[in-house]
Amino acid sequence: MPFFILHEWHLPWHYITFLTLFAVILGGILIYGTLFLIKTYWNEPYHPLIELGSILVFIFALWWSDIFVFRAGKVFFFMFMSLLILVRLLKLEFFVKILLASILLIGNGLISFRGLQGVEIASSYLLFKNKYKFDEVDLNKWEKTETGYWNEEIKFGFSLTEEFMFYLPKDLELENKTGAGQIAGIIGSSDNDPNRYPYIRIFYFPSYVPFELDQAIQDISLLLKMQVSKQEIEDLQEIITEEKSIQNLGSKFWTFYDSLRPRYAKTGFILIENLSHDKILLHITENLEKGQEHEIGVANILKSFIFSNTLDGDH
């Protein structure tokens, strides 16, 4: 429990209290249920309902944890189930009990982890969402042009090169939407993973909501500290740079070491304003290229931004 509280230390105390209580309750229910089933099966081996239920829970836990996305996960499941079926057919009672207890314990661990992870993601999302009170608009209405996208609601558009694609807000998970402002979409470099960089997350603030450079620095810094706390990134270092790719209200960038994809990368934001004085926060994460302000693809997209729906629109 102290480790869990330390892991969530980046959140306000009432969020930590809620998550801790949720972890205790969920963990207690799952542990009790798991131990009860193991004890029952140990006394009544070959109980068909317990066997079927345990296998279904195991399959659900693997699916929910995205284990089946990876080939190794599919191979693990096939080999494990083959072994379980073999010892069950041979009626090797001791090994059947051990394997059934194993799938229950593995399922318990995976479900607990995913449940806590889901609540943590929702808490982080609400932490930023509740900070700025304004009526959200429908930002899924992007008009596809010959070279890119245009959104009439926020008077903003851009061109896409072949190596990038655009994710609408409705296609994003809560984790991808977490940040300052209302998510307007993500310009990403992967056709199935908006978190694979380089990417540009676009956040919108209407003109009547006060949002200045110091607030952007505070919010992005908090988001990065949360990633450090979750051990997703490390060695976070602020860098001094002047953003020249696009006219802006200010910017700030950091370098970091990506623990999930072992490499150094760069992240930060650019704050811009459209012709209606709405603020647009561009949260950029990209590979670290020495001697270059941005990766070539990211730089080209930044230079393509327009604020009126014409090919020669104002930049």
pLDDT by residue, tens only, the chain of 315 residues: 555 555 555 566 666 677 677 777 877 888 889 999 999 999 988 899 999 999 999 999 999 988 898 899 899 999 999 999 999 999 899 999 999 999 999 998 888 888 877 887 887 888 788 788 888 899 999 998 888 899 999 999 999 988 899 999 999 999 899 988 999 999 999 888 898 889 999 999 999 998 999 999 999 998 998 888 878 889 999 998 888 888 899 999 999 999 878 889 999 999 999 999 999 999 999 998 877 889 999 999 999 999 887 644 444
DSSP annotation of 173: -
Q: Which residues pair with 183 in a beta bridge?
A: 203
Could you give the residue ranges of the DSSP H alpha helices within the chain?
2-7, 13-43, 48-64, 71-89, 93-129, 174-177, 213-229, 296-303
Q: Which residues pair with 158 in a beta bridge?
A: 149
What are the structural domain ranges in the chain?
2-129, 142-303
Do 199 and 221 form a contact (C-beta atoms < 8 A)? no
Separation CA 36–CA 110 (nearest Å) = 18
> Residue 93 has which token pair?
């009672």
Q: What type of residue is 15?
A: Y
The highest-level CATH class for domain 142-303 is: alpha beta
pTM of this structure: 0.79
